[in-house]
Chains A and B, each alone.
Chain A
Amino acid sequence: MEAGNTGPDRAVRRRLNLDPAAVREARELARHAGQPIVDMARTHTTVSVERAVLRLAGLHGADEDGMPWVNCLADAVRQSTGLEHGVALPVWDALLAGNYPDLGTLARDAVADKVQFRVPGGADAHAARGAAAEALAGGIARIDAQRAAREAMITQTSQPRMPWIYLIVATGDIYEDIPQAQAAAREGADVIAVIRSTGQSLLDYVPEGATREGFAGTYATQENFRLMRAALDDVSRELGRYVRLTNYASGLCMPEIAALAGLERLDMMLNDCMYGIIFRDINPRRTFIDQRFSRQIHARAGIIINTGEDNYLTTADAVDAAHTVVVSQLLNEYFGKEAGLADSQLGLGHAFEINPAVPDSFVLELAHAQLVRELFPDAPLKYMPPTKHMTGNVFAGYLLDAFFNLAGVMTDQSILLIGMMTEGIHTPFLADRDLALENVRYVREAAGRLGESFQPVPGGFIDRRANEVLGEAVQLLRRISDEGLLNAIADGTFGITRRPADGGRGLEGVIEHAEGYFNPARDILEDPERNLPGDSPSAALSEIGA
């Protein structure tokens, strides 16, 4: 990458005197709090994990009512043999026994009740395992090929300088989204996020095909992913700059959307360990199990995850709850790394949401942003603009967005989601977006070098505040570690919303493994011997520009 960039490719400037013992303890506590969750995720599966296996094996399409074949087939297996052994063993056994040409034909017969599923034993089991493993190896190879294609595209075009400018499109119609996304890229956007239709996170299936109807967003579908990535490839070549594509994995179908994102070469994915629980009332167990498998796929696909800590500050006070952001980031880091993500794939989130009426609000923002920067020096941090205190005074909002951009530049943030002065009033007008880009371009050009001279006084206000937040984070992590993460979530620790472990949507889709549970995709993703040559954290690092 070019000189003057900030981010994972260069050593982060140390500006604070953080207590190294506190940092070590915080990570250790996060590991301790997360470990039981990982143990649970290792011994359980979900309907969406199993459907993702079928998607990776190439099953796509839907019946005449729009219900995807993966749902039909997984449901049929669940009703006959259950999913305790995984979907793969009964499915490939039936495929071999019935001499089916492909999974789609099997799914159609299964819906018509013409297939007798069983959990095979002996030689039949061996044959089914072999066939399934071969099918899944093919699917993972397609993800590997897309990862290589991304690297080739970046070589052919170029890697944008950081901070990357992240812009949202959300018309509901993929064919309207495409020209808007291309226009945004031409105006300077480095990352295009297509906001999903608002209902999608709670759908227990992934809709099919190109879609032209959505509510406050566009459905995430495999075909929409493909169309948008192709359009951004065109504009990337035109601009000589690789424009990334982002969508949202969080929700009831996290593993499946992760699989589709890998197959269609999305570059980043919203994937938070607790967002679905806190803000969408999805069952905590379901979320954590789905999350682990989805992140294993992201890790393989070279996708950067974006976590959703900014959301906590929209419901809680950004000063009082600053430490909950750090706690969630540490948990996201632990879960992410456990699933195989490299530091360079951890787009941990935070936000500029302190009430501007608070004295020294901007200085507090600098302290929080610099704390996060130094705690995660190798992570491509995603910094979110003000939303809560955008009052409708668009002129004051434009000023606040400029201060957000300035904080982002001064503290070497990696990805800036561009704030709109009309936040909270309407979906951005074309001109709102253009003015927002003008704002960030001005700040980046005018103050890009300010970071090199920004050195808070040791023991001064910023230094003290950062250490104070870190200390509060350690205290909260101790409590979570003692009482257990699921209990802490049930108590309303995050986002002031109480979410009991057996509440929320999707619990009925959680299944404990039986002896001999078989998931050939997970076997490949967890087996270091079967990784690509050079497919290591350092390869992931080179993907984003090291």
Chain B
Amino acid sequence: MTEPAQRGEPGGRSPEPAQRGEPGGRSPEPAQRGEAAQIVRPYGDTTGDGRVQVSFTLPIPYGTPSERARAEGAALQLAAKMGLEPAMVVHAKGIGADFTFFIVYGRVTHLVDLSEVIIAEREFPLLSSAEVNLRIRSGLGRKLVVVGACIGTDAHTVGIDAILNVKGHAGEKGLEYYREIRVVNLGSQVEVPDLVARSAAEGADAVLVSQVVTQRDAHIANAREMASAFGAAGPRRPLLVVGGPRFDPAMTASLGVDKVFGKGTTPSEVASYLAYTLAPAALDPAAADTGGSAPATDIRAKPIGASA
């Protein structure tokens, strides 16, 4: 633990009195409460106080008093470079002989400009399973064929199974549950050429690939390999969809696929996307209003960890 004198109240008030409100000319004035704020900073317990909490480990010892003093100084230096000023080390603990863990509270000097935030919008409406079935039936006139797989060395089928299995995920039934969707789940460690061949044999409208393992960015390399293999296979390729906890929806174009789903995706989102994209909407009343209400802002577009 740190020396008591060095500690502040976790999450509490800064020892510095002139903290809130006046940012010292470094930045535009934060908006007042109730206005449509364009510039905001983190909220601890008072508007504009900018208070945040972070934790991290440094590869330095926390044994002797001088080592402890140095470790806490090092933590504060890092905090300052991260824009936390003033900052307090509220907790420090040695982990083994060579590492120290810190919890730091501080006031972040950075501002958030809401006008610069780029929002990934969901370009399709969320449909119920009945609406998905109706749209496929009326727009496609046959069952929509989905081939799913984990490719490369990835043997973790949890993700693809959660989307495809009847059981589904997060209280939603998987794609097998949809009457108008035919699911072919190829399972784990499918080779890309096999996936291409099987997709052609099944007449796949869409190929869903899940990638959990991300060491050395294997998920990105595998997705690109798949996209180029389908590209090389012919002009009329199925819709290519990849998903996994470490995919960023912004990577769609660079991966060469049609859609990327990140962490927290539910089966109904995937089903809605497939129906919206693959089944023409002419006869579907659910999609008549294409201008206004249908596309919804997806506030979950940034998955946990995606920016880490």
Contacts and interface: CB of A to CB of B under 8 A. Distances in A.
A219 to B, nearest CB: 11
A497 B166 CA distance: 10
A316 B169 CA distance: 9
B213 interface: yes
B57 A497 contact: no
Contacts of B154: 198-199, 215
A424 B166 contact: no
A396 interface: no
A314 B158 contact: yes
A199 B161 contact: no
Contacts of B157: 279, 281
Nearest to B305: A425
B304 interface: yes
* Most B Cβ at <10 Å: residue of A198, A199, A434: A198
B305 A392 contact: yes
Nearest to A311: B158
Contacts of B165: 315, 496-497
* Most A Cβ at <10 Å: residue of B158, B187, B216, B263: B187
Interface string B211-222: 001011010000
A315 B167 contact: yes
B166 A186 contact: no
Contact of A202 (B56, B155, B161): B155
A400 B245 CA distance: 21
A519 B42 CA distance: 70
Q: Is the interface of A mostly helix, strand, loop or mixed?
A: loop
Interface in B52-109: 55-57, 93, 95-96, 99, 101
Given A424-B245, A425-B304, A201 B155 contact: yes
Interface residues of A, number: 30
Nearest to B158: A314
A169 to B, nearest CB: 14
Contacts of B304: 392, 425
Q: Is the interface of B mostly helix, strand, loop or mixed?
A: loop
A198 B155 contact: yes
A491 to B, nearest CB: 13
Interface in B184-218: 187-189, 213, 215-216, 218
B156 interface: yes
A202 B167 contact: no
Contacts of B117: none
B105 to A, nearest CB: 15
A180 to B, nearest CB: 10
B57 A431 contact: yes
A430 B155 CA distance: 26
Contacts of B158: 314-315
Nearest to B216: A215
Nearest to B156: A198
A496 B155 CA distance: 17
A172 interface: yes
B36 interface: no
B246 to A, nearest CB: 9
B153 interface: yes
Contact of A187 (B96, B216, B308): B96
Interface residues of B, number: 31
Interface in B159-187: 161-162, 165-167, 187
Interface string A316-335: 11000000000000000000
Nearest to A438: B93
Interface in A400-441: 424-426, 429-431, 434-435
Nearest to B187: A281
* Most A Cβ at <10 Å: residue of B57, B167, B218: B167
Contacts of A426: 305, 308
A273 B189 CA distance: 21
Given A215-B213, A426-B305, A431-B57, A199 B166 contact: no
A438 to B, nearest CB: 9
Interface in A167-226: 172, 183, 186-187, 197-199, 201-202, 214-216
Contact of A316 (B167, B213, B245): B167
A280 B188 contact: yes
B214 to A, nearest CB: 8
A240 B149 CA distance: 48
Interface in B273-308: 304-305, 308
B186 to A, nearest CB: 9
A251 to B, nearest CB: 9
A459 B249 CA distance: 52
Contact of A172 (B99, B215, B245): B215
B187 A215 contact: no
Contacts of A216: 213, 215
B95 A434 contact: yes
A215 B95 contact: no
Given A215-B153, A315-B165, A496-B165, A202 B99 contact: no
A2 to B, nearest CB: 26
A197 B56 CA distance: 27
Contacts of A315: 158, 161-162, 165, 167
A87 B55 CA distance: 58
Contact of A496 (B166, B187, B218, B245): B166
A455 B166 CA distance: 39
Interface of B: 55-57, 93, 95-96, 99, 101, 153-158, 161-162, 165-167, 187-189, 213, 215-216, 218, 245, 263, 304-305, 308
Sorted from nearest, which 5 A-B pairs have the closest CB atoms?
A: A199-B153, A392-B304, A281-B187, A431-B101, A431-B57
27 contacts: A187-B95, A187-B96, A197-B153, A198-B155, A198-B213, A199-B154, A199-B189, A201-B155, A215-B153, A215-B154, A215-B216, A215-B218, A279-B157, A280-B155, A315-B167, A317-B167, A392-B305, A425-B245, A425-B304, A425-B308, A426-B305, A426-B308, A431-B95, A434-B101, A496-B167, A497-B161, A497-B165
